[in-house]
Amino acid sequence: MYTFELSLQYRKAVKERDLDAVLAVFSPDALIVTPLKGSCDVRTYHQWLFMTVKRSTVKVINAFQAMNGEICLAVQANYEWLMYDDTVVLFSGMSVFDFTPDKRKIKKMSTFYDTSLVRLQLAALRGDE
């Protein structure tokens, strides 16, 4: 499978909130690295995401293939999180997908974005201001 198609399958599974479909695109020992949760396994991160965010929408801006022979793909995107109180959290960032050698599974996803705005918005929702 092509790496971009696999990343699309992942985004579709997240949009549909289908944990089994999310787990199916990752290798069993895969790792998620994100500014809000640090490093964790795929199930733990997505359970947190689905409990925290009612709907997650990703609009892809660009995709970049690795030039150094590594099997990875970087996807630049705009994110929209609809929270359970119907508040919208907007941010832009980059997800870097590392794949298994056969390109059939994601072995690591690292997400990069400026958390200062996201943390403020999430704190306001919790009343932590």
pLDDT in tens, 9-29: 999 999 999 999 999 999 999
Q: Cβ neighbours of residue 117 under 8 Å, at least 6 residues apart?
A: 91
**Contacting residues for 89 by C-beta, under 8 A, at least 6 apart:** 53, 80, 81, 83, 118, 121, 122
Asked whether the predicted pLDDT for residue 1 surpasses 60, the reply is no
What does pTM read for this prediction?
0.86
Kindly list the structural domains of the chain, giving each domain's residue range(s) and its CATH number in brackets, ordered by start.
3-126 (3.10.450.50)
Partners of 98 in the β-ladder: 72, 108
pLDDT tens sequence across 48-86: 999 989 999 999 999 998 777 678 999 999 999 898 888
Whole-number Å distance between alpha carbons of 34 and 112: 7
